[in-house]
């Protein structure tokens, strides 16, 4: 979902904040260092080895006493009169020691060695004291450090996951249950207006009415009417639902809280419900206001259709909270909840009943005039050549959503820029449309001559069959330039249909089988290149038989699962015998279509071969050339 609007202000974290946030880590390190120093005495004592100690101190009778510390370190005190001269030149007389230290392996070993040397050298016995120094701070740290580390990791995780919901500024664990909705108000206004929304006229009228409810509620309440609480925008992805909501925000000039359904549900249980509460509380404080929940299916999915798993429990409690909040506020509070979804059929019925989201606004994919209007909106900021024509582009893009059109305009500008042009021309738009339909041209993809031959016949097969059938779309061009994953493609100009007859379905299946049938007819061998076609054909045949009741043997029966019940429970709504019948009927349907397709190709083999040769020669064959080969398409006129 495109979102170009400014983000709500977030305080940048300055380096000062960073140091403030981590002060306790620095404090810990400081405490550790100090306690280390305190524990092991003055750093003035020099480290020495047993040999050095034995030969240069002990045997010389220089040692006055030894302190064994914590059974692991021996601190050596030199007789004061020896200091400041000889080997101890560098140690001043006033230094009370310890003057040297060494780490000992074990106390017994140390004692034995000391005794041996003292006896052997007939030295005066040296007093050895044993001391235990415990460092309270270090002990405390040893106990608490693991906990501190765990807490630090926890805080770190909370900070990361809480970022979406935490809102602006520094981290506060208590912000976790806050909604984190994006707010548009006096200081942060949405710049989108109804001017930016092209087409969608009926939806616009309904949405404008909502703006009016908020601005002039008395006009309606005066007559006893209740203002709707919730409005749901339903439409395919990219149809402009979010755009419409932003336009409402821009036009209504009331605070507008925008949040996505998925932002309610986090990994922590209970967060969703409290975020819903928080969102409604804020909206009520600022009433009249609008709450917009994008992708509401993330929380509002029908409860009967979900497995009861942990995450769904969380979603359910969030949904319950949402229902409660919507029931809880009266119609005169001045808060209207808008929501958007692509799957209204998946939503919980409780959400859609009157008193909650009682208004449904359907946004359809744009028709040719609306597409033209959307092209014009998105062409406004572009530098166009005078020959670019929104009408032609709209005619070439049936089935495209508003988002696709926005994408084409941007892509065309990028293509023109890459070609170092000053103005965007029509061919840039055509290239952008091709790219969006079929993916990027891959001119560098190396294909062997033999494979190219197969691809050429395959594509020529699609073209020939669709040309001679009555109910297929008009063919615009055929290409064997590899694009995206495919090695070739045929471009059609789809017509806008709302219903299909059985014959239309069958013709389309034949056109899709044309590629494989051509390979079969020409080479007597088939290849794996027909995967996508076969998938499409199988699905189409299945829907004809199992959903649309278009097969005489199956009769007028539909197993279509509009509310996803069977999809979730992994059951089939029909018996095993019916499953076998469906399988057989689908197979027969595809087989008879294949036979028909082959027949067409055998009849028109001459044209098929001619087109394939032309494709191998030119790679792209356009409509005029197709007409030269096949003659004018008898049944159809091109729009």
Applying CB under 6 A, which of residues 1, 25, 33, 417 lies at the interface with ligand ADP?
1
Q: Report in angstroms how near the CB of residue 1 gets to ligand ADP at its nearest.
A: 4
462, 514 contact by CB (below 8 A): yes
Residue 638 interacts with ligand ADP (CB under 6 A)?
Answer: no
Under 8 Å between Cβ of 263 and 163: no
State which of residues 338, 403, 544, 612 lies at the interface with ligand ADP (CB under 6 A).
403
Whichever of 2 and 602 has its CB closer to ligand ADP, that residue is 2
Q: Which of 252, 254, 276, 340 binds ligand ADP (CB under 6 A)?
A: 340
Does position 437 interact with ligand ADP (CB under 6 A)? The reply is no
DSSP 115-165: HHHHHHTTPPPPPEEEE----HHHHHHHHHHHHHHHHHHHHHHHHHHTHHH
Report how far apart, in Å, the C-alpha atoms of 139 and of each of 37, 39, 134 are: 15, 12, 8
Site for ligand ADP in 136-175 (CB under 6 A): none
Peptide bond into 75 cis (omega under 30): no
Torsion on CA atoms 534, 535, 537, 543, rounded to nearest 10? 160
Q: For residue 478, which of 490, 487, 466, 468 has the smallest C-alpha distance?
A: 490
Assign 101 to helix, strand or coil.
strand
> Which of positions 168-207 make contact with ligand ADP (CB under 6 A)?
197-200
CA separation, residue 233 to residues 320, 330, 358, 483 (Å): 21, 22, 11, 36
Question: Which residue number is nearest to ligand ADP in terms of Cβ?
Answer: 402
Q: Which residues are catalytic?
A: 459
Q: Given the complex with ligand ADP, which of 371 and 508 has the nearer CB atom?
A: 371
How many whole angstroms separate alpha carbon 253 and alpha carbon 246?
11
Q: Does 406 bind ligand ADP (CB under 6 A)?
A: yes
Among candidates 456, 441, 551, 440, which has minimal Cα distance to 506? Answer: 551
Among 207, 232, 239, 336, binds ligand ADP (CB under 6 A): 239
Residues in Cβ contact with 497 at an 8 Å cutoff, skipping those fewer than 6 apart: 504
Number of residues that bind ligand ADP (CB under 6 A): 20
Question: Using the rule CB under 6 A, which residue among 374, 455, 600, 612 binds ligand ADP?
Answer: 374
Largest CA distance in the chain: 127
The answer to whether 247 and 411 are in contact (CB under 8 A) is no
Taking CB under 6 A as the criterion, the residue among 102, 322, 377, 413 binding ligand ADP is 377
Binder among 166, 235, 272, 482 for ligand ADP (CB under 6 A):
235
Shortest distance (Å) from residue 286 CB to ligand ADP: 24
Rounded (to 5) percent helix, strand, coil in the chain: 55, 10, 35
Closest CB to ligand ADP among residues 260, 464: 260
Under the criterion CB under 6 A, does residue 230 sit at the interface with ligand ADP? Answer: no
Q: Establish whether the linkage from the previous residue to 334 is cis, with ω within 30° of 0.
A: no
Q: Answer yes or no whether residue 402 interacts with ligand ADP by CB under 6 A.
A: yes
Beta strand pairing status for 182-184 and 256-260?
antiparallel
- CB-wise, 81 or 369, nearer to ligand ADP? 369
Question: Binding ligand ADP by CB under 6 A: which of 237, 399, 484, 631?
Answer: 237
Q: Which residue, 260 or 317, has its beta carbon nearer to ligand ADP?
A: 260
Q: Is 243 in the site for ligand ADP (CB under 6 A)?
A: yes
CB of 241 to ligand ADP, least distance (A): 3
Q: Which is nearer to ligand ADP, 260 or 597 (CB)?
A: 260
Q: Is 265 an interacting residue with respect to ligand ADP (CB under 6 A)? A: no
Interacting span for ligand ADP (CB under 6 A) from 14-22, 234-242, 345-353, 379-387: 234-242
Binding site for ligand ADP (CB under 6 A): 1-2, 197-200, 235, 237-243, 340, 374, 377, 402-403, 406
């Amino acid at each position: 979902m495109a979102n170009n609007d400014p983000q709500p202000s977030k305080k940048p974290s300055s380096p000062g904040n960073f140091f403030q946030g981590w002060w306790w880590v620095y404090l810990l390190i400081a405490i550790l260092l100090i306690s280390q120093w305190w524990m092991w005495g003055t750093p003035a004592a020099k480290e020495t080895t047993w040999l050095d100690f034995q030969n240069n101190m002990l045997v010389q009778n220089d040692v006055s006493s030894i302190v064994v510390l914590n059974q692991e370190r021996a601190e050596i005190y030199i007789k004061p009169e020896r200091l400041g001269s000889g080997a101890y030149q560098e140690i001043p007389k006033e230094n009370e020691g310890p003057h040297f230290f060494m780490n000992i392996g074990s106390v017994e070993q140390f004692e034995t060695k000391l005794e041996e040397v003292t006896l052997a050298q007939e030295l005066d016995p040296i007093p050895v004291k044993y001391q235990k120094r415990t460092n309270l701070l270090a002990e405390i740290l040893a106990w608490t450090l693991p906990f501190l580390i765990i807490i630090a990791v926890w805080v770190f995780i909370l900070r990361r996951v809480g970022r979406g919901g935490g809102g602006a500024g520094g981290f506060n664990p208590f912000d976790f249950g806050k909604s984190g909705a994006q707010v548009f108000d006096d200081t942060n206004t949405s710049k989108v207006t109804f001017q930016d929304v092209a087409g969608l006229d009926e939806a616009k009228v309904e949405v404008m009415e909502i703006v009016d409810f908020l601005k002039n509620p008395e006009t309606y309440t005066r007559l006893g009417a209740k203002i709707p609480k919730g409005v749901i925008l339903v439409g395919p992805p990219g149809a402009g639902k979010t755009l419409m909501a932003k336009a409402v925000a821009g036009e209504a000039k009331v605070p507008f809280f925008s949040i996505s359904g998925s932002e309610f549900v986090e990994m922590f249980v209970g967060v969703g419900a409290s975020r819903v509460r928080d969102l409604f509380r804020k909206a009520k404080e600022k009433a009249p206001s609008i709450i917009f929940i994008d992708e509401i299916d993330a929380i509002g999915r029908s409860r009967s259709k979900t497995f009861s798993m942990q995450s769904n429990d969380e979603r359910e409690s969030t949904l319950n909270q949402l229902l409660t909040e919507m029931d809880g506020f009266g119609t005169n509070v001045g808060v209207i909840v808008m929501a958007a979804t692509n799957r209204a059929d998946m939503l919980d019925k409780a959400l859609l009943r009157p008193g909650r989201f009682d208004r449904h606004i359907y946004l359809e994919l744009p028709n040719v005039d609306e597409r033209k209007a959307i092209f014009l909106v998105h062409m406004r900021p572009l530098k166009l050549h005078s020959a670019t024509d929104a009408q032609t582009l709209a005619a070439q893009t049936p089935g495209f959503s508003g988002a696709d059109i926005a994408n084409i305009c941007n892509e065309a500008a990028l293509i023109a820029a890459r070609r170092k042009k000053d103005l965007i021309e029509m061919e840039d738009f055509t290239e952008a449309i091709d790219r969006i339909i079929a993916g990027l041209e891959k001119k560098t993809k190396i294909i062997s001559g033999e494979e190219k031959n197969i691809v050429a016949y395959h594509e020529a097969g699609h073209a020939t069959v669709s040309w001679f059938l009555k109910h297929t779309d008009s063919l615009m061009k055929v290409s064997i330039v590899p694009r995206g994953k495919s090695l070739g493609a045929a471009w059609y100009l789809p017509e806008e249909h709302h219903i299909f007859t059985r014959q239309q379905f069958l013709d389309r299946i034949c056109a899709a089988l044309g590629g494989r049938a051509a390979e079969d007819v020409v080479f007597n061998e088939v290849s794996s290149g027909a995967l996508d076609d076969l998938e499409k054909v199988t699905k189409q045949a299945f829907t004809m038989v199992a959903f649309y009741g278009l097969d005489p043997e199956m009769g007028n029966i539909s197993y279509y699962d509009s509310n996803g019940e069977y999809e979730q429970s992994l059951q089939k709504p029909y018996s095993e015998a019916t499953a076998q019948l469906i399988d057989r009927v689908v197979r027969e349907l595809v087989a008879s279509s294949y036979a028909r397709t082959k027949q067409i190709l055998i009849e028109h083999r001459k044209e098929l071969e001619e087109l394939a040769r032309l494709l191998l020669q030119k790679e792209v064959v356009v409509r005029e050339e197709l007409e030269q080969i096949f003659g004018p398409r008898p049944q159809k006129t091109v729009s």
